Amino acid sequence: MAFPAAAAILIAGALVAPTMAQAQVVGGGPDSHGCYADGGYAYSAVRRTCIRIWEAGVRLDPVKPQGSAVMSAFVVFASDDRREAELFIPGVAASPVLKAVRHQKVRTWSGNGYTLTLQDGIYSLADNQGEVIFRGPPSGGGSN
């Protein structure tokens, strides 16, 4: 038989009332930006709002997957002009922001030890050693 959490309980002749410390919270609260991670939201610095990265971003899959699980990265652009790109990379706590740089044939964003390129409809993300670590679908393959 279940009892309401706020109910007092009689144990061995003593009346015991649950305290707030005993109350169990289900789900987490908002982070410092007001985003609810338990709802799938993360704060985007370039959009200045809470987003779901898989809805707002372009998925980039690892070039060299580790094990059977695929841990994808996502790139989110600030706006339609795509002057800034924010990276959401598995295992990287901060979301690096890249700035667009001018190139003739290849769109490129660079900064914080990463370079993102878009050539022939394919996104490639390289680390500071120049090694491509993630590659994305044709540019129409994401929601952005």
Q: What is the pLDDT of residue 32?
A: 86
Domain interval for residue 100: 58-141
7, part of any domain: no
4, part of any domain: no
Our count of domains for the chain comes to: 1
25, part of any domain: no
30, part of any domain: no
d(CA 41, CA 113): 25
Full pLDDT tens readout for the chain, 144 residues: 555 544 444 445 554 445 555 555 566 788 888 999 889 999 999 999 999 999 999 999 999 988 888 899 999 999 888 999 999 999 998 999 999 997 778 899 999 999 999 998 899 999 999 999 999 986 444 444
The model's pLDDT over 66-94, given as tens digits with 9 standing for 90+, comes to: 888 889 999 999 988 899 999 999 999 89
Q: What is the pLDDT of residue 8?
A: 47
124, part of any domain: yes
